Amino acid sequence: MHFDRPRRNRKHPAIRSLVRETRLWKASLIQPLFVWEGGECLAVGSMPGIKKLSVKGLVQECGDLVQLGCLAVAIFPSVAWERKDARGSCSLDSDNILFTAVQAVKKSFPGLMVIADVALDPYTDHGHDGIVDSKGHVDNDASVEALCKLAVAEAGIGVDIVAPSDMMDGRVGAIRGALDNAGFQEVSILSYAVKYASAYYNPFRDAVGSGGNLSLLDKKSYQMDPANVREAIREALLDVQEGADMLMVKPAGPYLDIIRVVREQTLLPLAAYQTSGEYAQIHAAAQLGWLNYKQTRDEALLAIRRAGADLILTYFAREIAETSSS
């Protein structure tokens, strides 16, 4: 007579490693980076260790990441307030800081995959991802038109993967069409297919200055209701149909059930975005001495992989790459 002893598989670090089901590879981590027009690099208060980089600082940072074996970065612009307007027109200016930054990075590191958001929020004075009409509604179809132009402009300056993060209806198909018409058949689309109207984005909005009055910015008419699961499947399947190359769920940690269900219902590579708020939470608790920083960080990332994400956008990417050999 014996009873099951699952602990045998945990008795030694080597055995634990042999039977481990999920791993964090640096090849699956993507570092988000912020760039601005200034000549120096500025710390982002609510994101310890993260800076708004000058173009020179960004290129240096990308050099370090390449050395460390990172394969991709997502670059976000922090645009000077004076340039912004209600329509986000400066997104198409030839001196858009995002374009300058991407060109500089691709020139130095052509093999590093550069991802850029397609959304208007860094460029609009109200902070919405699209164009707001006279009644205060975010106008879906006018926004999609503007997003197509931005996607084509990004492709033109060398972005490898455009990432529509706006949650307008029909934008993935429209962007695919616009890219193909402009001769950018090889440019990929990573769709923020399932993006929730979440409270976890505030530190990011501090960093890019897209918050306006943060407490007033309400994206619930286009980003998803955190209460919904079936709707996530619907959004994901639509983006598959419309021609996305990869899907994303965002936020990640509080939405592991969503990552799992999208993984099970679709075939495309799946990314998850561990948001600025998730990053800030871990740092804040660690600073207070309430959580162990490294253990919590690694567990949070592993859980996102275990839920089914192939790729993770995470502000911890560089640190993990620094400490892991594969």
- Catalytic residues, which ones? 195, 250
The sign of the dihedral angle between the CA atoms of 226, 231, 235, 237 is: positive
Torsional class of 237: left (φ above 0), alpha (ψ -120 to 50), beta (otherwise): alpha
Stretch that binds ligand PBG, among 10-18, 115-123, 147-155, 181-189 (CB under 6 A): 115-123
Q: CB nearer to ligand PBG: give 184 or 200.
A: 200
List 36, 123, 184, 201, residue binding ligand PBG (CB under 6 A): 201
List 30, 35, 121, 316, residue binding ligand PBG (CB under 6 A): 121
List 119, 148, 271, 317, residue binding ligand PBG (CB under 6 A): 119
Stretch that binds ligand PBG, among 65-73, 199-207, 263-271, 292-300 (CB under 6 A): 199-207
Stretch that binds ligand PBG, among 9-17, 113-121, 140-148, 293-301 (CB under 6 A): 113-121
CB of 223 to ligand PBG, least distance (A): 7
Q: Amino acid identity of 201?
A: Y
Q: CB nearer to ligand PBG: give 197 or 303.
A: 197
Q: CB nearer to ligand PBG: give 4 or 250.
A: 250
Concatenating the DSSP letter of every residue in 12-69 gives: SHHHHHHT------GGGEEEEEEEESSSS-EE-TTSTT-EEE-HHHHHHHHHHHHHHT
CB of 279 to ligand PBG, least distance (A): 7
CA distances from 117 to 8, 11, 99, 217, 235 (A): 47, 46, 12, 19, 18
Q: CB nearer to ligand PBG: give 99 or 201.
A: 201
Spatial distance between the Cα atoms of 122 and 133, rounded to a whole number of angstroms = 18
Is 206 among the residues that bind ligand PBG (CB under 6 A)? no
- Residues 244-303 interacting with ligand PBG (rule: CB under 6 A): 275-277
Is 140 among the residues that bind ligand PBG (CB under 6 A)? no
- Residues 30-89 interacting with ligand PBG (rule: CB under 6 A): none
Spatial distance between the Cα atoms of 193 and 241, rounded to a whole number of angstroms = 12
Is 204 among the residues that bind ligand PBG (CB under 6 A)? yes
**Binding footprint of ligand PBG, residue count (CB under 6 A):** 12
Spatial distance between the Cα atoms of 313 and 97, rounded to a whole number of angstroms = 22
Q: CB nearer to ligand PBG: give 164 or 308.
A: 164
List 31, 124, 140, 165, residue binding ligand PBG (CB under 6 A): 165
CB of 11 to ligand PBG, least distance (A): 40
Spatial distance between the Cα atoms of 172 and 245, rounded to a whole number of angstroms = 10
Q: CB nearer to ligand PBG: give 19 or 214.
A: 214
Concatenating the DSSP letter of every residue in 91-130 gives: GG-TT-HHHHHHHHHHHH-TTSEEEEEE-STTTBSS--SS
- Closest among 276, 310, 316, 322 to 296, alpha carbons compared: 316
Residue 190's contacts (CB-CB under 8 Å, 6 or more residues apart) are: 115, 161, 162, 163, 244, 245, 246, 247, 248, 271
Residue showing tokens 């996530």 = 232
Q: CB nearer to ligand PBG: give 129 or 242.
A: 129
List 129, 160, 242, 319, residue binding ligand PBG (CB under 6 A): 129
Spatial distance between the Cα atoms of 302 and 308, rounded to a whole number of angstroms = 10
For residue 38, give both structure tokens. 């200034």
List 52, 101, 117, 171, residue binding ligand PBG (CB under 6 A): 117
Q: Which residues bind ligand PBG (CB under 6 A)?
A: 117, 119, 121, 129, 165, 200-201, 204-205, 275-277
